[in-house]
Protein backbone atom coordinates (compact mmCIF):
# COMPACT_ATOMS: atom_id res chain seq x y z
CA UNK A 1 0.00 0.00 0.00
CA UNK A 2 1.16 3.50 -0.74
CA UNK A 3 -0.12 6.64 0.90
CA UNK A 4 -1.77 9.64 -0.68
CA UNK A 5 -1.45 12.68 1.55
CA UNK A 6 -4.09 15.36 1.09
CA UNK A 7 -3.71 18.82 2.57
CA UNK A 8 -4.99 22.34 2.09
CA UNK A 9 -2.44 25.12 1.65
CA UNK A 10 -1.29 26.86 4.81
CA UNK A 11 -3.52 29.69 5.97
CA UNK A 12 -3.46 32.52 3.41
CA UNK A 13 -3.84 36.27 3.88
CA UNK A 14 -7.30 36.00 2.30
CA UNK A 15 -8.27 33.23 4.74
CA UNK A 16 -7.44 35.68 7.53
CA UNK A 17 -9.52 38.44 5.90
CA UNK A 18 -12.40 36.03 5.18
CA UNK A 19 -12.20 36.43 1.41
CA UNK A 20 -12.76 33.64 -1.11
CA UNK A 21 -10.75 32.99 -4.23
CA UNK A 22 -7.88 35.35 -5.03
CA UNK A 23 -4.23 34.43 -5.23
CA UNK A 24 -2.57 35.74 -2.09
CA UNK A 25 0.46 34.54 -0.20
CA UNK A 26 0.52 32.81 3.19
CA UNK A 27 -0.05 34.36 6.60
CA UNK A 28 2.58 33.83 9.28
CA UNK A 29 0.64 30.82 10.56
CA UNK A 30 0.46 29.50 7.01
CA UNK A 31 4.21 29.80 6.63
CA UNK A 32 4.73 27.92 9.87
CA UNK A 33 2.46 25.14 8.59
CA UNK A 34 4.52 24.92 5.39
CA UNK A 35 7.62 24.23 7.49
CA UNK A 36 5.86 21.66 9.66
CA UNK A 37 4.45 19.95 6.59
CA UNK A 38 7.93 19.77 5.05
CA UNK A 39 9.25 18.10 8.20
CA UNK A 40 6.39 15.65 8.24
CA UNK A 41 6.71 14.77 4.56
CA UNK A 42 10.47 14.35 4.75
CA UNK A 43 10.16 11.95 7.71
CA UNK A 44 7.12 10.08 6.42
CA UNK A 45 8.32 9.66 2.84
CA UNK A 46 12.07 9.50 3.25
CA UNK A 47 12.40 5.89 2.08
CA UNK A 48 10.08 6.59 -0.85
CA UNK A 49 12.51 8.04 -3.34
CA UNK A 50 9.86 8.30 -6.03
CA UNK A 51 7.21 10.28 -4.16
CA UNK A 52 5.97 13.50 -5.77
CA UNK A 53 4.34 16.72 -4.61
CA UNK A 54 1.33 18.01 -6.53
CA UNK A 55 0.07 21.58 -6.11
CA UNK A 56 -2.39 23.86 -7.86
CA UNK A 57 -1.12 26.80 -9.90
CA UNK A 58 -2.03 29.26 -7.13
CA UNK A 59 0.63 30.88 -4.98
CA UNK A 60 -0.71 29.65 -1.66
CA UNK A 61 -0.22 25.98 -2.57
CA UNK A 62 3.14 26.55 -4.29
CA UNK A 63 4.40 28.44 -1.23
CA UNK A 64 3.12 25.69 1.06
CA UNK A 65 5.16 23.17 -0.94
CA UNK A 66 8.27 25.33 -1.14
CA UNK A 67 10.04 24.19 2.09
CA UNK A 68 9.73 20.55 0.92
CA UNK A 69 12.98 19.55 -0.76
CA UNK A 70 14.13 16.43 -2.57
CA UNK A 71 10.90 15.49 -4.31
CA UNK A 72 9.65 16.49 -7.76
CA UNK A 73 6.81 19.03 -7.79
CA UNK A 74 4.04 19.20 -10.35
CA UNK A 75 1.53 22.04 -10.77
CA UNK A 76 -1.99 21.16 -11.92
CA UNK A 77 -4.51 23.77 -13.01
CA UNK A 78 -7.15 21.14 -12.27
CA UNK A 79 -6.18 21.42 -8.58
CA UNK A 80 -6.99 25.17 -8.46
CA UNK A 81 -9.73 26.27 -6.06
CA UNK A 82 -13.36 26.43 -7.24
CA UNK A 83 -13.68 29.51 -9.45
CA UNK A 84 -16.04 31.90 -7.66
CA UNK A 85 -16.48 33.99 -10.85
CA UNK A 86 -17.97 37.41 -10.10
CA UNK A 87 -17.72 36.67 -6.37
CA UNK A 88 -13.96 36.10 -6.45
CA UNK A 89 -12.31 38.20 -3.75
CA UNK A 90 -15.54 38.81 -1.80
CA UNK A 91 -16.39 37.69 1.72
CA UNK A 92 -19.53 35.59 2.34
CA UNK A 93 -20.98 38.61 4.17
CA UNK A 94 -20.50 40.78 1.09
CA UNK A 95 -22.09 38.17 -1.18
CA UNK A 96 -25.06 37.92 1.17
CA UNK A 97 -25.47 41.70 1.26
CA UNK A 98 -24.76 42.61 -2.37
CA UNK A 99 -26.04 39.50 -4.18
CA UNK A 100 -28.69 37.99 -1.90
CA UNK A 101 -30.29 35.86 -4.67
CA UNK A 102 -26.95 34.28 -5.47
CA UNK A 103 -26.32 33.65 -1.79
CA UNK A 104 -29.71 31.98 -1.38
CA UNK A 105 -29.46 29.79 -4.48
CA UNK A 106 -26.08 28.55 -3.39
CA UNK A 107 -27.41 27.75 0.06
CA UNK A 108 -30.29 25.80 -1.49
CA UNK A 109 -28.15 23.64 -3.76
CA UNK A 110 -24.47 24.05 -3.06
CA UNK A 111 -23.53 21.05 -5.21
CA UNK A 112 -25.13 22.33 -8.41
CA UNK A 113 -24.94 26.09 -7.86
CA UNK A 114 -22.59 27.70 -10.35
CA UNK A 115 -21.12 31.13 -9.54
CA UNK A 116 -21.85 33.59 -12.38
CA UNK A 117 -18.86 33.27 -14.73
CA UNK A 118 -17.42 30.70 -12.35
CA UNK A 119 -17.85 27.07 -11.37
CA UNK A 120 -20.08 24.73 -9.40
CA UNK A 121 -18.94 21.81 -7.28
CA UNK A 122 -20.11 19.55 -10.12
CA UNK A 123 -17.78 21.44 -12.47
CA UNK A 124 -14.90 20.94 -10.04
CA UNK A 125 -15.66 17.23 -9.71
CA UNK A 126 -15.61 16.90 -13.49
CA UNK A 127 -12.32 18.71 -14.01
CA UNK A 128 -10.70 16.51 -11.34
CA UNK A 129 -11.15 13.38 -13.43
CA UNK A 130 -7.68 13.45 -15.05
CA UNK A 131 -6.10 14.08 -11.64
CA UNK A 132 -7.89 11.08 -10.18
CA UNK A 133 -6.88 8.87 -13.10
CA UNK A 134 -3.26 9.90 -12.62
CA UNK A 135 -3.44 9.42 -8.83
CA UNK A 136 -4.79 5.91 -9.33
CA UNK A 137 -2.06 5.15 -11.85
CA UNK A 138 0.82 6.27 -9.60
CA UNK A 139 2.67 3.56 -7.72
CA UNK A 140 4.57 5.98 -5.50
CA UNK A 141 3.17 8.18 -2.73
CA UNK A 142 1.74 11.55 -3.72
CA UNK A 143 1.32 14.66 -1.58
CA UNK A 144 -1.57 16.75 -2.90
CA UNK A 145 -1.52 20.38 -1.71
CA UNK A 146 -4.72 22.01 -2.86
CA UNK A 147 -7.84 23.86 -1.71
CA UNK A 148 -10.93 23.19 0.34
CA UNK A 149 -13.52 22.64 -2.40
CA UNK A 150 -11.15 20.54 -4.51
CA UNK A 151 -10.05 18.41 -1.57
CA UNK A 152 -13.67 17.80 -0.56
CA UNK A 153 -14.19 16.25 -3.99
CA UNK A 154 -10.95 14.25 -3.97
CA UNK A 155 -11.54 13.00 -0.45
CA UNK A 156 -15.10 11.96 -1.31
CA UNK A 157 -13.80 9.93 -4.22
CA UNK A 158 -11.34 7.96 -2.08
CA UNK A 159 -13.56 7.69 1.00
CA UNK A 160 -16.55 6.77 -1.18
CA UNK A 161 -18.82 9.50 0.14
CA UNK A 162 -22.07 10.43 -1.63
CA UNK A 163 -22.15 13.32 -4.11
CA UNK A 164 -24.63 15.37 -2.06
CA UNK A 165 -22.26 15.42 0.91
CA UNK A 166 -19.26 16.77 -0.98
CA UNK A 167 -19.82 20.53 -0.49
CA UNK A 168 -20.20 19.98 3.26
CA UNK A 169 -17.28 17.68 4.06
CA UNK A 170 -14.94 19.15 6.64
CA UNK A 171 -11.39 19.60 5.41
CA UNK A 172 -9.72 21.70 8.10
CA UNK A 173 -6.62 23.83 7.60
CA UNK A 174 -3.24 22.63 8.86
CA UNK A 175 -4.27 18.98 8.86
CA UNK A 176 -2.97 16.13 6.71
CA UNK A 177 -5.40 13.45 5.61
CA UNK A 178 -3.50 10.27 4.80
CA UNK A 179 -5.28 7.80 2.56
CA UNK A 180 -3.88 4.28 2.27
CA UNK A 181 -5.15 2.16 -0.55
CA UNK A 182 -4.68 -1.50 0.21
CA UNK A 183 -6.25 -4.79 -0.74
CA UNK A 184 -8.75 -4.55 2.11
CA UNK A 185 -9.96 -1.13 1.01
CA UNK A 186 -9.16 2.42 1.98
CA UNK A 187 -7.77 3.42 5.35
CA UNK A 188 -7.57 6.94 6.64
CA UNK A 189 -5.44 8.76 9.21
CA UNK A 190 -5.44 12.43 10.13
CA UNK A 191 -2.51 14.43 11.42
CA UNK A 192 -3.29 17.84 12.84
CA UNK A 193 0.04 19.66 12.74
CA UNK A 194 -1.19 22.88 14.36
CA UNK A 195 -4.37 24.80 15.28
Q: What is the total count of residues that contact ligand G3H (CB under 6 A)? A: 8
Task: Select the residue whose beta carbon is closest to ligand G3H and give its number.
Answer: 148
**Integer Cα distance of 81 and 131 in angstroms:** 14
CB of 89 to ligand G3H, least distance (A): 10
Q: Does 22 bind ligand G3H (CB under 6 A)?
A: no
* Catalytic position from the list 9, 19, 152, 174: 9
Q: Is 39 a catalytic residue?
A: no
**Catalytic: 98?**
no
| By the rule CB under 6 A, 131 interacts with ligand G3H | no
144 exposure class (CB count in 10 Å sphere: 0-12, 13-18, 19+): buried
Which range in 37-45, 70-78, 146-154, 155-163 contacts ligand G3H by CB under 6 A?
Answer: 146-154
HSE-CB at 47 with a 13 A cutoff on CA atoms is 3
* Residue 7 phi, psi (nearest 5): -150, 145
Using CB under 6 A as the binding rule, whether residue 21 contacts ligand G3H is answered as yes
Q: Which of 4, 5, 6, 20 binds ligand G3H (CB under 6 A)?
A: 20
Going by their DSSP bridges, the two strands 73-75 and 52-55 should be labelled as parallel
Decide: is 147 part of the binding site for ligand G3H (CB under 6 A): yes
User: Would you call 141 helix, strand, or coil by DSSP?
Assistant: coil
Instruction: Select which of 19, 106, 147, 152 is catalytic.
Output: 147
Q: Which residues within the stretch 150-189 sit at the binding site for ligand G3H (CB under 6 A)?
A: 167
Does residue 82 interact with ligand G3H by CB under 6 A?
yes
Which residues, at least 6 apart from 22, have a Cβ–Cβ distance to it below 8 Å?
A: 12, 14, 88, 89
Among 6, 149, 173, 179, binds ligand G3H (CB under 6 A): 149
The strand pair at 185-192 and 52-55 is best described as unpaired
39 contacts 184 by C-beta, under 8 angstroms? no
Instruction: Name the residues annotated as catalytic.
Output: 8-9, 15, 60, 81, 147
Q: Which residues bind ligand G3H (CB under 6 A)?
A: 20-21, 81-82, 147-149, 167
Amino acid sequence: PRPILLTRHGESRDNVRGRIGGDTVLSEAGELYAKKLANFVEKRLKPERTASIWTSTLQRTILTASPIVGFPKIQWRALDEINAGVCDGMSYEEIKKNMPEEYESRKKDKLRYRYPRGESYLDVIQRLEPVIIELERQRAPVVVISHQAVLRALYAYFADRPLMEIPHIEVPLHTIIEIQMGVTGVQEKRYKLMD
